Structure 1
């Protein structure tokens, strides 16, 4: 993904001062002029900017835009592919203010909240598609607290911040577990998680498998988390609430129109490399690029891989070669009929090592030999 703030600034300067849309041949069209001095922005499902003709474009935002500050301003509306309003709100020079409301595809209210100086205040209320209440989270204190929760049968499981919570959420992006959902379950006291919590992976046939175990203290702080798949401890809790992706729009991040980017697979590669290769006491302050080729069968299983463009030291190359066999799957290339085909992928990545020797792999992209 890319930070596109400077690009947006220069692009806006061009067509706001000339009164015409700039020549963007060979470039992504991420925004365009709209009537009455407004600007139309093009986003995917997760509020990353994408080209207006990209097949993953799913949201259009119409808003004022302050070019000199590179921020949204005044009232805005977001529309889905069918032209239905999915979100409304207001920015004061980039700062969220007043009521924000999101809607299900049929137009029923999905959630509502009020912002003050960019922060939610009072109750953030979530609703099921049939209009019945789902979750109420209160933000009168520094930490959001789950005050009410109703399950899908309409039974209230949490009242006045106390009760039992079991809520299913989809994985937003690619994961190597092969399950589309994870389910959070645990006890809530005074609006905060307390004691023993679990996460289960869930498939479309309702098959469940234990994924994580967590222990929260009396303050609702995670004391210990354990990932059973990675056999590793962690100290940042998994999500408890539906993810409000609209926050991403304010960062003005863009994605190329490829499935590897849209699905989050390139981000997965970044996290996979960074998790396995964390640091080296002998390597510091390095910026470098590398690439490798991987051969795939029709189902996306790697059959061979070769480091192509090497890093600057043999030690770094050895580290990268250690990770390659640990990546069990890539999305297969497809023929015109949508069937998987054998192909060779070239994967490009960047490596940054800070002055403490910590590794950060980023900016992955994939080129396919047989599929553009």
Structure 2
């Protein structure tokens, strides 16, 4: 697959200015400005980051009610060039009225109206040249695709009926290495019907079949879903319409200034471990930490994995060591010139087991050996 080359390119481009967060440095996630407003610093996915972090890409200027920990009144979000990318209004944390997002060239990207924190009516999307792209209706309980135009300007869906073929980016790291996925199928009365596919798409446009789905002809509900990569069935379909990350800003979540956090790789580790080790009837009410060391080649492939700080019991460690060897890739270390090199990384994580014996792995962070 395309994983190694694409990920190393992204890794080198974004991460060359620093591999490890400086834990001793003061972190500034927001600060007051002379007008009485507050300026917040976010990455692309609206997680708070330090104002000097290489991954900072959005600044929000807004009133903020400290007692309630919420945004208030009009706000504007700016990109690194000072261009407005989003504007809207909060009434003590509740989204109200028109919200408008903009492409980097200043043209309207999408527009929608909120009422009591929920979108109402049509959410309209536009191409960077200003031409219509997609209309999604929120008047009913089911979200409906009402209109769609392809990049050639041809209307493929009208009044909720037609054919849909839409490509979206993966937001975070996936172990298959593809940057995009394409959703394709028929729409009737705004809902998916019949046979649908999802293809993984690389930067050259090459497609690989990823999932096959069948939606009920009467209800539009997924009746069958099959993941070809995992050789497994599922019940929850992938996204149909563009994902809006600005919702995350309201949760005021922060991330360290590390590529493993920004890219979602640490979250991937958490989900991977938790999915492979779901529960044990003999282990309950446990909070523990662990670490393991990995020798990586310059492509990010593990050549040796060693458990360093073990968990409390032999049974837990047996489970843990089973998973360690199932992680196929880690981002490698970079030298001072930004070139990927072979080296050692140490992964730290935590395990929580509740009173029902369900495992949850979390709080992953990665430390790379420092290079001269």
Q: 2: distance between equivalents of 1:137 and 1:355? A: 43
Which residue number in structure 1 is paired with residue 310 of structure 2? 310
Q: Is the 8 A contact 2:336 2:371 kept in 1?
A: no
Q: 2: distance between equivalents of 1:182 and 1:237? A: 13
Q: Is the 8 A contact 2:44 2:58 kept in 1?
A: yes
Which residue number in structure 2 is paired with residue 62 of structure 1? 61
Q: Is the 8 A contact 1:110 1:129 kept in 2?
A: yes
Q: Is the 8 A contact 2:281 2:357 kept in 1?
A: yes
Q: 2: distance between equivalents of 1:119 and 1:287? A: 38
Q: Over residues 42-63 of structure 1, what are the superposed CA-to-partner deviations in whole Å (9 max), with x where a residue is unaligned? A: 0000000000000000000000
Which residue number in structure 2 is paired with residue 224 of structure 1? 224
Q: 1: distance between equivalents of 2:354 and 2:133? A: 44
Q: CA deviation at 1:311?
A: 1.1
Q: CA deviation at 1:142?
A: 1.4
Q: Over residues 208-232 of structure 1, what are the superposed CA-to-partner deviations in whole Å (9 max), with x where a residue is unaligned? A: 1110111222322222221111122
Q: Aligned to 2:111, what secondary structure does the other structure show?
A: strand
Q: CA deviation at 1:27?
A: 3.0
Aligned length: 349
Instruction: Kindly report which structure 2 residues correspond to 1:202-281, keeping only aligned pairs within 5 A, or say none.
Output: 202-217=201-216, 218-281=218-281
Which residue number in structure 2 is paired with residue 74 of structure 1? 73
Aligned in 2, Cα 1:332/1:121: closer, same or farther, shift over 3 Å? same
Q: CA deviation at 1:288?
A: 1.5
| TM-score between both structures, scaled by the size of structure 1 | 0.92
Which stretch of structure 1 is more off in the superposition, 216-225 or 231-240?
216-225
Which residue number in structure 2 is paired with residue 156 of structure 1? 155
Which residue number in structure 2 is paired with residue 296 of structure 1? 296
Where structure 2 has 5 or more consecutive residues not aligned to the other structure, the ranges are 1-22
Q: 2: distance between equivalents of 1:223 and 1:358? A: 28
Q: Is the 8 A contact 2:83 2:104 kept in 1?
A: yes
Which residue number in structure 2 is paired with residue 118 of structure 1? 117
Q: Aligned to 2:325, what secondary structure does the other structure show?
A: helix
Q: 1: distance between equivalents of 2:280 and 2:369? A: 34
Which residue number in structure 1 is paired with residue 175 of structure 2? 176
Which residue number in structure 1 is paired with residue 197 of structure 2? 198
Q: Is the 8 A contact 2:297 2:341 kept in 1?
A: yes
| TM-score between both structures, scaled by the size of structure 2 | 0.92
Instruction: Kindly report which structure 2 residues correspond to 1:37-56, keeping only aligned pairs within 5 A, or say none.
Output: 37-56=36-55
Q: 2: distance between equivalents of 1:187 and 1:87? A: 32
Which residue number in structure 1 is paired with residue 360 of structure 2? 360
Q: 2: distance between equivalents of 1:312 and 1:220? A: 48
Which stretch of structure 1 is more off in the superposition, 183-192 or 77-86?
183-192
Q: Aligned to 1:365, what secondary structure does the other structure show?
A: strand
Higher RCO by CA contacts (8 Å cutoff, separation 6 or greater): 2
Q: Aligned to 1:293, what secondary structure does the other structure show?
A: strand
Which residue number in structure 1 is paired with residue 106 of structure 2? 107
Q: Is the 8 A contact 1:343 1:370 kept in 2?
A: no
Q: 2: distance between equivalents of 1:352 and 1:31? A: 31
Which residue number in structure 2 is paired with residue 10 of structure 1? none
Which stretch of structure 1 is more off in the superposition, 86-95 or 289-298?
289-298
Q: Aligned to 1:236, what secondary structure does the other structure show?
A: coil
Which residue number in structure 2 is paired with residue 328 of structure 1? 328
Q: 2: distance between equivalents of 1:204 and 1:336? A: 28
Q: Is the 8 A contact 1:351 1:360 kept in 2?
A: yes
Q: CA RMSD in A?
A: 1.4
Q: 2: distance between equivalents of 1:371 and 1:238? A: 41
Which residue number in structure 1 is paired with residue 94 of structure 2? 95
Q: 2: distance between equivalents of 1:207 and 1:89? A: 38
Q: 2: distance between equivalents of 1:253 and 1:61? A: 14
Where structure 1 has 5 or more consecutive residues not aligned to the other structure, the ranges are 1-23
Q: CA deviation at 1:139?
A: 0.6
